[in-house]
């Protein structure tokens, strides 16, 4: 049975070195389930939306365990495909101080990556869908997943759904198969009404030189984003909103995070930066942000309020280990209201 919110992407296992250790500094891993689109689905489900994840998982105990974790958070997985093969993995070494975090991908040849595009009957799968979300991670895995993502976005748009695309550019994944990100992402974002993308994502999609004047360090971030957004609106007539976070980093544990939304009518909404100190885990914060903005739009919030809700969701994710953002609507609204941080009793 179709569900109003559908996300398409790979369900992953994340293997993290304990604490702040380097990989295999100690012979153990902490294991979490994640993946860009799965993270969005979990967050939207916890916000009260009827959300499902579409895709393919390995037909083995690891695949079933990962699906079970999504079910535990209210995400529908009954229409996920099972196929022979392996689960996609990624390894994470959390940074500390001035040493950044590091991700090592092990996703080649996974059951999801090797599923041909024609295996998905998108008109049937997306019938009745109100929102379809996909990220740039999915097409970065290979031609099969790129074709599937474009087919899905087109079918969703033709069915009348809001198509949401998160840039999530992953250079390591594109380089692994010598893909052409500009051409593929241009076809994908061309189907979207909402894009989560910063000026660098837009430059990649438009085939611009990343070192041009628009990327100069002295350009104020809001003006730089607004300029890039204007070029994207001109190139992609279906786009109505472009949204991004703006992050400053003083150390691994001390960031500032704000957000911007540009709309086709020329408006620029700004959510002022919040200080993030004592960060627990930033992985999945962009997905929490996307889910927060989507929740706002789906529930009729004004653009500025949707942006503020998304930023608050992203900030809260930094306090939670693992890929999933597990706060509910009231938790996020409390931060939007700047409620006191007293112990809840």
The set of residues, in sequence order, having a beta carbon less than 8 Å from that of 107 and lying 6+ positions away, is: 10, 12, 88, 89, 90, 113, 141, 173
Residue 213 has what pLDDT? 44
- For the record, the structure tokens of 110 come out as 């996974």
Is residue 33 within 8 A of residue 20, CB to CB? The reply is no
* Cα gap 97→101, rounded to integer Å: 10
**DSSP letter at 286?**
H
Sheet strands (E) in the chain: 5-8, 12-16, 30-34, 51-54, 56-58, 81-83, 88-93, 102-106, 131-135, 162-166, 194-196, 241-251, 254-263, 268-277
Is residue 126 within 8 A of residue 155, CB to CB? The reply is yes
Residue 221 has what pLDDT? 82
Residue 345 has what pLDDT? 66
Is residue 87 within 8 A of residue 58, CB to CB? The reply is yes
Is residue 313 within 8 A of residue 289, CB to CB? The reply is yes
Is residue 16 within 8 A of residue 30, CB to CB? The reply is yes
Residue 210 has what pLDDT? 55
The set of residues, in sequence order, having a beta carbon less than 8 Å from that of 196 and lying 6+ positions away, is: 164, 165, 166, 167, 168, 242, 243, 244, 286, 289, 290, 293
Find out if CATH 3.40.1190.20 is the number for domain 121-238.
Answer: yes
Place of tokens 């786009």: 239
pLDDT < 70: residue spans in the chain: 1-2, 210-219, 345
Q: What are the tens digits of pLDDT across the range 223-276?
A: 999 999 999 999 999 999 999 999 999 999 999 999 999 999 999 999 999 999
**Number of continuous H segments (helices) and E segments (strands) in the chain:** 11, 14
Architecture in CATH of 10-37+54-115: 3-Layer(aba) Sandwich (3.40)
Domain residue spans of the chain = 10-37+54-115, 121-238, 240-345
Question: Dihedrals φ, ψ of 225, to 5°?
Answer: -65, -45
Domain 121-238 matches domain 240-345 at the CATH topology level: yes
**DSSP letter at 337?**
T
The set of residues, in sequence order, having a beta carbon less than 8 Å from that of 60 and lying 6+ positions away, is: 87
Residue 83 CB coordination number (10 Å): 15
Residue 24 has what pLDDT? 87
pTM of the entire predicted model: 0.94
Q: What are the tens digits of pLDDT across the range 125-141?
A: 999 999 999 999 999 99
Residue 214 has what pLDDT? 45
Architecture in CATH of 240-345: 3-Layer(aba) Sandwich (3.40)
Residue 211 has what pLDDT? 46
Question: Dihedrals φ, ψ of 235, to 5°?
Answer: -80, -30
């Amino acid at each position: 049975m179709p569900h109003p919110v559908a996300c398409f992407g790979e369900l992953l296992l994340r293997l993290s070195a304990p604490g702040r250790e380097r990989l295999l500094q100690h012979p153990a891993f902490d294991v979490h389930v994640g993946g860009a689109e799965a993270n969005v689905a979990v967050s939207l489900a916890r916000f009260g939306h009827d959300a499902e994840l579409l895709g393919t998982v390995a037909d083995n105990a690891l695949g079933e365990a990962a699906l079970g974790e999504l079910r535990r958070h209210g995400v529908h997985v009954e229409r996920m495909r099972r196929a022979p093969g392996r689960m996609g993995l990624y390894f994470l070494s959390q940074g500390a101080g001035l040493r950044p975090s590091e991700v090592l991908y092990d996703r080649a040849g996974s059951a999801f990556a090797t599923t041909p595009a024609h295996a998905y009957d998108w008109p049937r799968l997306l019938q009745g869908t109100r929102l379809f979300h996909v990220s740039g991670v999915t097409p970065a895995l290979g031609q099969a997943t790129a074709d599937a993502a474009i087919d899905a976005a087109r079918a969703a748009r033709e069915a009348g759904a809001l198509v949401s695309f998160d840039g999530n550019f992953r250079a390591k994944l594109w380089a692994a198969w010598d893909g052409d990100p500009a051409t593929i992402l241009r076809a994908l974002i061309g189907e979207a009404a909402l894009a989560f993308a910063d000026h660098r994502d837009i430059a990649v999609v438009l085939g611009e030189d990343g070192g041009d004047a628009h990327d100069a360090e002295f350009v104020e971030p809001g003006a730089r984003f607004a300029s890039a957004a204007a070029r994207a609106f001109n190139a992609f007539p279906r786009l109505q909103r472009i949204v991004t976070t703006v992050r400053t980093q003083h150390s691994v544990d001390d960031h500032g995070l704000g957000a911007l939304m540009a709309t086709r009518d020329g408006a620029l909404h700004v959510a002022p930066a919040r200080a993030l100190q004592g960060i627990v885990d930033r992985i999945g914060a962009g997905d929490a942000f996307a889910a927060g903005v989507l929740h706002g739009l789906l529930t009729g919030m004004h653009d500025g309020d949707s942006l503020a809700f998304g930023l608050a969701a992203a900030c809260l994710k930094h306090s939670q280990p693992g890929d999933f953002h597990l706060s509910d609507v009231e938790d996020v609204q409390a931060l939007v209201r700047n409620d006191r941080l007293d112990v809840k009793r």
